[in-house]
């Protein structure tokens, strides 16, 4: 019985060799096996090491501190950071302002870098108020726009467009509450981010902590090189 089993196995191996080995040899000769394996590995590396594309930035059009119309299209060709704030914010905004200034200073010589600071209290933050606010912060970059417009439009842009929390709340100090996160957008108008230690997209960067500021600086450099 054992001999018959060996004969059967040998026959199967022989048939496999006759049918498949010539094809494998031909593929090795023309390089198709190596080529396909390399492409697969290359794609995996790009997916693993590159910043994730979350999706297109929501379309918007607002007015800046110089009374100029600024839209998402105004930033095409630039890497930029978006935040939601208001000038009279008594809590997290001063920290966000400080950290955003730090980011802007890092890339002050980069003409392809910009910032969009969108007020969630446009009834107070008029063009004139935002102009004064920018002056008080010492902002001179032509690519840092402090943006105002219709309140409901802006709150919808924050909550539904970016999924970044912002709301009017008369019970809190300042009358408004909002996220302290920064959104990072690439030159093609795509929101980008890195992965966390578990391999999940972080979506947005912490604008209040040194760690988040360090990470967004590193990723801005990557996007400027793309």
Contact 141, 177 (CB under 8 A): no
- 151-167 per-position pLDDT tens digit: 999 999 999 999 999 99
The predicted structure's pLDDT at residue 50: 86
Which burial class, exposed, middle or buried, applies to 191 when counting CB atoms under 10 A from its CB (0-12, 13-18, 19+)? buried
Residue 4 in 3-state DSSP? helix
Distance, in Å, from the CA atom of 202 to the CA atom of 56, rounded to the nearest integer, reads 16
- Quick one: what percent of the chain has pLDDT higher than 70? 78
Residue 36 in 3-state DSSP? helix
Distance, in Å, from the CA atom of 27 to the CA atom of 11, rounded to the nearest integer, reads 25
Look up residue 87 and give its two tokens.
């000038």
Say which residue, 187 or 1, is predicted with more confidence: 187
Measured in degrees and rounded to the nearest 5, phi and psi for residue 77 equal: 95, -5
The predicted structure's pLDDT at residue 97: 95
Look up residue 95 and give its two tokens.
């920290």
If you average pLDDT over residues 194-221, what whole number do you get? 97
The rounded Cα 39 to chain-centroid distance in angstroms is 26
Which contiguous run of DSSP H or E holds residue 72? none
The yes-or-no verdict on residue 146 having pLDDT over 50 is yes
- 10-61 per-position pLDDT tens digit: 444 444 444 444 444 444 334 433 333 322 222 332 334 589 999 999 999 9
Contact 116, 80 (CB under 8 A): yes
- 68-125 per-position pLDDT tens digit: 999 999 999 999 999 999 999 999 999 999 999 999 999 999 999 999 999 999 999 9
Closest CA relative to residue 54, chosen from 207, 166, 205, 177? 205
């Amino acid at each position: 019985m054992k001999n018959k089993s060996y004969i059967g196995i040998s026959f199967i191996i022989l048939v496999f060799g006759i049918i498949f080995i010539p094809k494998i040899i031909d593929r090795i000769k023309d390089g198709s096996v190596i080529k396909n394996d390399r492409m697969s590995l290359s794609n995996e590396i790009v997916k693993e090491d590159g910043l994730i594309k979350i999706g297109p930035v929501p379309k918007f059009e607002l007015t800046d501190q110089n009374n100029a119309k600024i839209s998402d299209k105004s930033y095409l060709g630039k890497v930029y950071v978006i935040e939601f704030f208001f000038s009279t914010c008594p809590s997290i905004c001063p920290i966000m302002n400080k950290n955003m200034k730090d980011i802007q200073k890092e890339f002050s010589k980069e003409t392809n870098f910009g910032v969009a600071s969108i007020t969630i209290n446009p009834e107070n933050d008029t063009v004139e108020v935002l102009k004064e606010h920018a002056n008080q912060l010492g902002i001179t970059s032509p690519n840092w726009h402090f943006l105002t417009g219709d309140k409901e439009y802006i709150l919808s842009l924050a909550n539904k467009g970016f999924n970044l929390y912002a709301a009017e709340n008369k019970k809190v100090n300042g009358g408004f509450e909002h996220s302290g996160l920064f959104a990072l957008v690439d030159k093609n108008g795509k929101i980008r981010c890195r992965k966390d230690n578990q391999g999940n997209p972080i979506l947005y960067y912490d604008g209040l902590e040194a760690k988040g500021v360090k990470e967004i600086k590193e990723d801005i450099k990557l996007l400027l090189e793309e």
